[in-house]
């Protein structure tokens, strides 16, 4: 039986708050690649904060939306807008103090990060091609909730009460969005 090991948690891993996504050095390579398989983790702390702020502002949204490329974390289907919530470490937020490269196995990490970033860029571009307007909200941007609220409002525009629930149910039809491209129905 493993007694809960006295893990001398390396202090550099202890970011400001233990975030589910921020667990670099401790994992075995296997656990790590399982963990990072698709990086997508629902219900990370930054995500929960964003959802809470959105609720407070009166927006309705969907989670892990498969109808747009890259399965955005949060989707506003009638507005045709999507949010990718990115952990600063895994997605290497440029210039962010949370985005250090671990000291051990640097080339492994660097390759991993490069792939993540390439995929992020590709998802973003594909969203645009399919008529979705994407933004990234970084983990560190969720610390200041009023700034976050302003950013979300600027991105989404005013909430509208147009026959409340029904619009969301017929998602995608809500807004007469003219789009010629075949859109991924899925």
Of 30 and 94, nearer to Zn ion (C-beta) is: 94
Residue 93 found at the interface with Zn ion (CB under 5 A) = yes
Applying CB under 5 A, what is the total number of residues that bind Zn ion? 5
Minimum CB separation of residue 151 from Zn ion in Å reads 14
Residue 85 found at the interface with Zn ion (CB under 5 A) = no
Of 96 and 101, nearer to Zn ion (C-beta) is: 96
C-alpha distance from residue 115 to each of 85, 105, 111, 118, 124 (Å): 17, 16, 6, 5, 14
Buried b (16+ CB within 10 A) or exposed e, 70-86: bbbbbbbbbbbbbbbbb
β-pairing verdict for 133-138 and 74-76: unpaired
- Binder among 96, 101, 136, 167 for Zn ion (CB under 5 A): 96
Minimum CB separation of residue 96 from Zn ion in Å reads 3
> Is the backbone of residue 83 left (phi > 0), alpha (psi -120 to 50) or beta?
beta
Residue 136 found at the interface with Zn ion (CB under 5 A) = no
* Contact residues for Zn ion, defined by CB under 5 A: 88, 93, 96, 138, 140
């Amino acid at each position: 039986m493993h007694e809960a090991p006295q893990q001398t948690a390396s202090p550099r891993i202890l970011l400001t708050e233990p975030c589910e996504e921020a667990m670099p050095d401790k994992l075995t390579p296997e656990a790590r690649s399982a963990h990072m398989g698709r990086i997508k983790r629902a219900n990370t702390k930054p995500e929960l904060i964003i959802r809470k702020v959105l609720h407070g502002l009166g927006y309705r949204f969907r989670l892990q939306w498969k109808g747009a490329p890259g399965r955005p974390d949060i989707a506003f289907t009638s507005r045709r807008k999507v949010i990718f919530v990115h952990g600063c470490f895994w997605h290497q937020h440029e210039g962010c103090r949370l985005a250090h490269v671990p000291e051990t196995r640097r080339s492994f990490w660097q390759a991993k990060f490069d792939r993540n970033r390439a995929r992020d860029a590709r998802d973003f571009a594909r969203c645009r091609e399919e008529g979705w307007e994407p933004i990234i909200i970084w983990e560190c941007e969720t610390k200041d909730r009023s700034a976050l609220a302003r950013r979300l409002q600027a991105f989404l525009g005013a909430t509208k009460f147009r026959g409340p629930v029904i619009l969301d149910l017929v998602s995608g039809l809500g807004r007469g969005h003219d789009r010629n491209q075949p859109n991924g129905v899925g």
